[in-house]
């Protein structure tokens, strides 16, 4: 599932199209066709794998924003109004 989405993203980038929209529509198409054609164990594994990847990505983003907010130089360069 991830490989198919990645390949559609790379094809869109090669053709100078929007990769974000390609991933979105690839997810919609795969939710209608792919999800119903895999076994029950594959569904559970895929669901947990994507949930884990999503959690790790979200944690990284929040950590990055939190560490970036503590950067003293950025606070000094901003001007209070």
pLDDT of 78 strictly over 70: no
Are residues 16 and 43 both part of a single domain?
no
CB 22 within 8 A of CB 10: no
pLDDT band at 36 (very low <50, low <70, confident <90, very high): confident
One domain, residues 16 and 29: yes
Instruction: Tell whether 63 is covered by a domain.
Output: yes
Average pLDDT along the chain: 87
Is 81 part of a structural domain of the chain? no
Please report whether residue 46 resides in a domain: yes
The residue-averaged pLDDT of 54-68 equals 92
Higher pLDDT, 2 or 29: 29
33 and 54 housed in the same domain:
no
Query: What is the domain range of residue 32?
Result: 1-37
The residue that leads in pLDDT, 79 or 2, is 2
Check pLDDT > 60 for residue 81. no
Label residue 80 by pLDDT band (50, 70, 90).
low
Assigned domain for 79 exists: no
Number of domains in the chain: 2
CB 30 within 8 A of CB 1: yes
**Please, are residues 26 and 4 in contact by the beta-carbon 8 Å criterion?**
yes
């Amino acid at each position: 599932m991830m490989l198919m989405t990645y390949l559609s993203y790379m094809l869109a980038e090669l053709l100078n199209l929007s990769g974000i929209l390609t991933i979105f529509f690839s997810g919609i198409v795969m939710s209608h066709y792919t999800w119903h054609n895999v076994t029950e164990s594959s569904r559970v594994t895929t669901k947990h794998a994507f949930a884990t990847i999503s959690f790790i990505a979200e944690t990284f983003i929040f950590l990055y924003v939190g560490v970036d907010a503590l950067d003293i130089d950025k606070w000094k360069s901003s001007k209070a109004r």
